[in-house]
Chain A
């Protein structure tokens, strides 16, 4: 094979690769748009009026997730499934956002941590790599960490809105998350960087809980029981 032939072969490979990336980018753009819409719906829970109709907001968000499922279905068709990690960078960000949104909705509904299986189901993707387009464990964890900062904000705003019980529940939940993350041996990667921010969220919520406790606003006595 001559040098010229070799290079035109490689060039052919490269342009095919670029076409795939172009297709992926288009779908990811739509996904990002939908993710922003969901976020807007959920952001309104921080409004004083929003606390009352959290269930209806969650319902609306769940409806929007239907659109997400269509788009993820479309995304799957854009590239060979065994090359997931080759193009991973393109949808990594949006998948983390979507994992966060799914986790947030589930938390608002049931005050529990969403499992990776549940997120995968909400987004209509797989959990295991072998089965196809899947949710990488690091992306799931990153989504959970984004939710933690959102919850610390929610704790502050729920006090403003006069809901004094919620910060205590959030505090318990975040503490549990924190001890969960402590179990992981993270490398010096983006996930680790994001995890380093978790302690500030924990601190923030504890300050809120403290403020409530010394003023006797906390209804649940066991949180301050050791005093």
Chain B
């Protein structure tokens, strides 16, 4: 019986509330007017965030493709060709980062940082990988930032038209740079293993020296950095371990095993690269 009473009052309450909220919905109410303003402000912010996430995703995809392309340098004769092809791709990525810079014009970079940080890290990884293949050094933060200066002409996109050409810069934060470099080490490890597969003996030793330097750098930073850095340090150690093991194997067994057989020592899939004309031992 008491249950029925409860039901009754629930229904009544509902109608009462409905009536009330309708009465309050009059647009003259200062509260409603204020919330309309908040609605606009929040919507604008969310829209911008979504757009940035989308651009960031595109940047990630294109950067990943560039990295895949760059991995082919170990197995082709003309390295320069691939490098220039990657350059073109990276230019495309930079255009996209230009769009991010455009979105962030007059905004606080850190307010939307979470929306585009994955893309930027991937870009750092790709561009520094490219730089390493060409120059065998680590690309510095300034060098990366120096290439992220965009000249924008006055485009009639129907939106706000900016008067005259303007310079837009995008500054990668040191933390994004650091995380990108940490990812780079993974790529270098893969490059090391695959270059061994192709009978390249010098690259692994260069790579292990370079990776060791980076590892020392990360150890120097230690846990003063953000949480993600210490997480990546663990993966970095694993990569370094693999490369060092590869170099070790090369030293110990390199003189015993014919070069084309080294492939089998490191990975079975590299066996397809073995020249079939050479006699098997």
Contacts and interface: CB of A to CB of B under 8 A. Distances in A.
A113 interface: yes
A178 B138 CA distance: 56
B20 A172 contact: yes
Nearest to A15: B224
B34 A7 contact: no
Contact of B221 (A2, A11, A175): A11
Interface size range of chain A in the complex: 35 or more
Interface string B153-186: 0000000000000000000001101100000000
Contact of B220 (A8, A88, A177, A184): A8
A141 B19 contact: no
A185 to B, nearest CB: 6
Nearest to A171: B20
Contacts of B174: 9-10, 13-14
Given A180-B31, A184-B39, A175 B20 contact: yes
Interface of B: 9, 12-13, 15-17, 19-21, 24-25, 29-32, 34-36, 38-39, 41-43, 46, 108-111, 113, 137-138, 140-142, 174-175, 177-178, 210, 213-214, 216-218, 220-221, 224-225
26 contacts: A1-B138, A3-B138, A6-B138, A9-B141, A10-B178, A11-B224, A84-B108, A85-B109, A85-B111, A85-B113, A141-B38, A175-B20, A175-B21, A177-B31, A179-B21, A180-B32, A183-B32, A183-B36, A184-B35, A184-B38, A184-B39, A185-B42, A185-B43, A187-B46, A210-B9, A224-B16
Given A85-B110, A180-B31, A224-B16, 7 more contacts: A3-B217, A7-B217, A8-B220, A10-B141, A113-B34, A172-B20, A179-B32
